[in-house]
Amino acid sequence: MKTPAANLGSLTHAWLALVLLTLLSLGTGQWFHGAVWLPLLVAAILWIKGTVVARGFIEAQFAHPFIARVLAGFIAFTPVALVLTAFFGSQFARWATL
Amino acid sequence: MTATVLPALEPAPALANSRRIPGNKGIWVGICCEFVEFLVLFVVYFVARAHFPESFEAGAERLSRVAGTVITLLMVTSSFFIACSVATMRAGQRRRSIGWLVAGLLVALGYPIAKYLEITWNLAHRINGESGIFFTVYYYLTFNHLVHAVWGILGILWVLARHLAGGYTTEDYSGLESLASYWHATDIIWLVIFPFFYVLN
C-alpha cells in the first residue's frame, strides 16, 4: 500500500500557495473589475486552490480511486459552472426558469 | 482417473487495493453527503446568478472583502496545521502532533469570531437577508458553511481529547486523519464560496 511521507515541507509549500492564490484572486477582482474574462481567471484560480488542498493536504494521489474521483469532480464542478454561467448565463436562465 | 490441474489464476493487479482511505470509510460517507448538499446549494447560486446578474455584480461591492479574506486565511491555515498534526503523528512525534492540533483548533476558532464581526459590520451597513437576492444567497450559503465548520470545531475538540488521552498511535491514527479529511473538505467548500461573494463583481 502506498503511504504518503511525513513531510512538513510540502505541506508548507501547499499552504503558501493557497495564501498567495487567495491574495491573487482578490487582486484579480480589483484589477480586472468588469472584464469579460474575469470569471475564467477566477475559475482557474479556484480549481488550482481546490486541487492544492486535495493533493497537498488530503493526499488524494494516494487515496482510493473513488475518493480521488469524488474530490476531482467536486473541485471541477464550480469552475466549469462559473465559466458556463458567465458566457451562457441568459440561456441557462431560460433553461432554469420554472 | 487423472486429475487435471488448473493453473492458479493470478490475481489481477488491483490499483484500488493499493490505495488508501484517508481516515475511515464513515467520514467519507459524511464528506460525500456534505459535497452533495453544497452542490445543490451551488446550483441554486448559479440559477440565481444567471437570473439576476446585475444584483450579483453589485452585491460583492457592498460586502467586506477583509472579512472574506480573513476567513479564507483562517481556514487554509487551520487546515495546514491539522495536516501537520497528521504528518507528525505518522512520523511518531505525538507531542508535536498534539501541538499542531491545538494550533489548528485556535486558528479554526477565529472563523466564528470573524463571521460574528462580519455580520455585525453587515448589519451596521444595513445588509441583511432581505437586502436582495445576492444577500439572501450569501446568507444561506455562508451560514450553512459556518454550521459545518462548527461541527468540525467540535470534532477537533473530540479528537484533541482522544489524542491527549493517548488514543492515537503511529499504527492507528485514523480518527485524527478522519477529522483532518473533514476539515480539509470544509476548507475546499469555503474556497469555492469565497470568490462567489467577495471576488466576482
Given a contact cutoff of 8 angstroms between Cβ atoms, the answer to whether B189 and B34 are in contact is: yes
pLDDT tier at A5, thresholds 50, 70, 90: low
Task: Say which residue, B12 or B164, is predicted with more confidence.
Answer: B164
Cα A85 to Cα B53: distance, rounded to the nearest angstrom: 10
Cα B46 to Cα B63: distance, rounded to the nearest angstrom: 19
- The grid coordinates listed for A39 are 470569471
Mean pLDDT of all residues belonging to chain A: 89
Q: Angle at CA B77, nearest 5°, toward A31 and B24?
A: 125
Q: Where are the alpha helices (DSSP H) in B3-132?
A: 15-18, 25-51, 53-62, 65-90, 94-124
Distances (CA, A) of A13 to A7, A20, A57, B74: 10, 10, 11, 17
pLDDT at A32 over 50: yes
* Per-residue pLDDT, A30: 83
- What mean pLDDT is predicted for residues A47-56? 97
Residue of A nearest to B71 (CA): A22
* Per-residue pLDDT, A35: 82
Q: Are B199 and A29 a contacting pair at CB < 8 A? A: yes
CB-count exposure of residue B10 (10 Å: 0-12, 13-18, 19+): exposed
Alpha carbon A55 to its chain centroid, in Å, reads 12
- The grid coordinates listed for A8 are 512538513
Q: Are A1 and B18 a contacting pair at CB < 8 A? A: yes
Candidate from A2, A81, A93 with C-beta closest to B20 = A2
pLDDT tier at B1, thresholds 50, 70, 90: very low
B94 touches chain A (CB under 8 A): no
Question: To probe the interface with B, which of A40, A57, A61, A88 has the most B CB atoms within 10 Å?
Answer: A57
* Per-residue pLDDT, B42: 96
Complex ipTM value: 0.90
Question: How far separated are the first and last CA of chain A, in Å rounded?
Answer: 50
Task: Say which residue, B60 or B6, is predicted with more confidence.
Answer: B60
Q: Which residues contact B184 (CB under 8 A, 6 or more apart)?
A: A53, A54, A57, A58, B79, B82, B83
Q: Give the architecture (CATH level 2) of B23-198.
A: Up-down Bundle (1.20)
A2 touches chain B (CB under 8 A): yes
pLDDT tier at A97, thresholds 50, 70, 90: confident
CB atoms under 10 Å from CB of B56, counted, come to 24
In chain B, residues with a C-beta closer than 8 Å to the C-beta of A42 are: 195, 199-200
Q: Are A8 and B42 a contacting pair at CB < 8 A? A: no
- What mean pLDDT is predicted for residues A18-37? 88
pLDDT at B170 over 90: yes
Rounded to the nearest 10°, the torsion over CA B104, B138, A30, A39 is 100
* Per-residue pLDDT, A29: 83
A52 touches chain B (CB under 8 A): no
pLDDT per residue as tens digits for the range B120-153: 999 999 998 888 999 999 999 999 999 999 999 9
pLDDT tier at B11, thresholds 50, 70, 90: very low
In chain B, residues with a C-beta closer than 8 Å to the C-beta of A50 are: 188, 191-192
pLDDT at B81 over 60: yes
Given a contact cutoff of 8 angstroms between Cβ atoms, the answer to whether B82 and B101 are in contact is: yes
pLDDT tier at A31, thresholds 50, 70, 90: confident
Question: To probe the interface with A, which of B84, B190, B192 has the most A CB atoms within 10 Å?
Answer: B192
Question: How far separated are the first and last CA of chain B, in Å rounded?
Answer: 83
pLDDT at B4 over 80: no
Q: Are B79 and A57 a contacting pair at CB < 8 A? A: yes
